[in-house]
């Protein structure tokens, strides 16, 4: 999931996220409603997916294929996150994600400002 110059991309479109997760946009909207999934939104309201979000969509698809009900999926997702990200690492991981988001937003602003000059 790299962008230009091999730099990891921070955000993906709905189409890209659905393609990478192996689901349709209709399924994504349904899961948002039924499972309470939330994603970042652009100022125009478009969903912006991080690699972590795409992995979460893959996990939901896997759980449903394994026979879990939609009602059981949120609990399984919470347990999965707790196993993968111990509490002592959570703060560090969140800090890294926020720094990546800030850096990406700064790059976008620089690109936009450069185009208006």
pLDDT of residue 87: 46
* Sequence-separated (6 or more) residues with CB below 8 Å from residue 80: 59
Own/partner pairs, 7-11, CB within 8 angstroms, 24+ separation: 8/51, 9/51, 10/50, 10/100, 10/101, 10/104, 11/40, 11/48, 11/49, 11/50, 11/104
Q: What are phi and psi of 40, to 5 degrees?
A: -60, 150
Burial 50-63 (b: 16+ CB within 10 A, else e): bbebbebbebbbeb
Q: What is the pLDDT of residue 5?
A: 63
4-84 CATH: 1.10.1660.10
pLDDT at 2: 57
pLDDT score recorded for residue 4: 59
Q: Determine the pLDDT at residue 116.
A: 54
Tell me what pLDDT residue 106 has.
Answer: 82
3-class SS at 72? Answer: coil
How much is the pTM? Answer: 0.64
- Look at residue 19 in the predicted model and tell me its pLDDT: 97
Q: Along the 117 residues of the chain, how does pLDDT read in single tens digits?
A: 655 567 778 999 999 999 999 999 999 999 999 998 999 999 999 999 999 999 999 999 999 999 999 999 988 888 776 554 444 555 666 677 878 888 888 888 888 877 554
Instruction: Kindly state the tokens that stand for 42.
Output: 């652009």
């Amino acid at each position: 999931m790299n962008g230009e110059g091999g730099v990891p991309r921070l955000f993906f479109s709905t189409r890209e996220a659905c393609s990478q997760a192996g689901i349709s946009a209709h399924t994504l909207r349904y899961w948002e409603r039924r499972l309470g999934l939330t994603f970042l939104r652009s100022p125009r309201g478009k969903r912006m997916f991080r690699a972590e979000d795409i992995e979460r969509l893959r996990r939901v698809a896997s759980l449903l294929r394994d026979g879990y009900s939609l009602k059981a999926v949120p609990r399984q997702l919470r347990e999965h996150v707790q196993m993968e990200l111990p509490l002592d690492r959570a703060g560090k991981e969140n800090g890294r994600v926020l720094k990546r988001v800030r850096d990406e937003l700064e790059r976008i602003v620089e690109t936009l400002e450069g185009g208006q000059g």
